[in-house]
Amino acid sequence: MAFLNLIRWKNLAMIVFTAMVIRFALLPGFGQNPEVGLFPYLLLVLSVVCIAAAGNIINDIFDVTTDSINRPKKLIIDQVIKRKIAFKLYFGLNVLGLFTILFILLSHPSESLWIVFSICVLSPIALAVYSIWLKRVALAGNILISILVGASIFCFGIVLIDSDQNPVLYFIILAYALLAFSLNLSRELIKDIEDLRGDYYCKMKTLPILIGKKRSNHMIFGLLTFTILILLTLLLNYFLSFNVFIFYVFAFILIPLILISKQILKAKNQKDYTSISFHLKLVLLVGICSMFTFLIL
């Protein structure tokens, strides 16, 4: 169980779920057949999961000090799993993930897989740089992680479609990737506020340390407001004929985001921020589930 918690199995399960929904809900909803077979697609999912799991491990390895202050009861490295073993798991998962995506590329060469391969190769480097250095820099680390979250959705979608023949689907995949980026960035900033005490002790320069909780709250509120406006713009300009989808987004994404935005302005203690972080993650999951509505259009 310690290993599963170390690799953040719930987050990995959400990656797998997202990949399956894109293939078995979004594409059939538009009557499109996938460009790659199920087996190579599952291998791609495995590759992304392995790289993400490795990223979670390296993050925990370099987070021991802050985690011992912020969440001592959940500390795994050095307490349950030795650091040396954690490093071996980190390298092993990265090697498995990279060799898997290389195998897919060699057996099914295509322009889209070259793009995905490049993203997968760069991701372990980006995650290591984040864990060692960028997470200590205000906004830079938050933005990097959020880009990788959005990139995972982009990767799962782009290998399944021909963007030239299916521009609408390509646009929708980009829209979901943008939504994932924005919501995850908001969560990353919330988590920085949650980890304020340990980060301050380790002399990090995260946003709440530099500008304080109240100003950080206003910045997150602004980011969520921007997300809401972007969603409204997309709905009104491109999805007016998708009645079920519009109802779903208004009822289960936009309204909850408005309520969460109001909560952020009032947030003061650890319990408030933990609740907001959970609800943002729930909205992201509900947002991915909105792809099922395309099956009943």
Upper half-sphere CA count for residue 62 (Cβ side, 13 Å): 17
Per-residue pLDDT, 188: 95
Contact (Cβ atoms closer than 8 angstroms) between residue 29 and residue 291: yes
* Distant-in-sequence, close-in-space partners of 53: CB < 8 Å, separation ≥ 6: 7, 8, 12, 93
Concatenated DSSP letters for 221-288? HHHHHHHHHHHHHHHHHH-TT-HHHHHHHIIIIIHHHHHHHHHHHH--SHHHHHHHHHHHHHHHHHHH
Residue 269, Ramachandran bin (φ over 0: left; ψ between -120 and 50: alpha; else beta): beta
Give CA–CA dist 247/224, Å, rounded. Answer: 20
Tokens in use for 70? Answer: 């912020």
Coil, strand or helix: which one is 59?
helix
pTM: 0.95
* Distant-in-sequence, close-in-space partners of 123: CB < 8 Å, separation ≥ 6: 51, 55, 148, 151
Can you list the alpha helix ranges (DSSP code H) found in 164-241? 167-194, 196-201, 207-211, 213-238
Closest CA to 195 of 128, 136, 144, 143: 136
Per-residue pLDDT, 6: 93
Architecture of domain 2-296: Orthogonal Bundle (1.10)
- Break the chain into its structural domains and give their ranges: 2-296
Closest CA to 147 of 174, 118, 185: 185
Contact (Cβ atoms closer than 8 angstroms) between residue 50 and residue 100: yes
Give CA–CA dist 134/62, Å, rounded. Answer: 12
How far from chain centre, in Å, is Cα 272?
22
pLDDT tens for each residue of the chain, 297 residues long:
788 999 999 999 999 999 999 999 999 999 999 999 999 999 999 999 999 999 999 999 998 888 778 887 788 998 889 999 999 999 999 999 999 999 999 998 899 999 999 999 999 999 999 999 998 888 999 999 999 999 999 999 999 998 888 999 999 999 999 999 999 999 999 999 998 888 888 888 899 999 999 999 999 999 999 999 999 999 999 998 889 999 999 999 999 999 999 999 999 898 999 999 999 999 999 999 999 999 986
Per-residue pLDDT, 165: 87
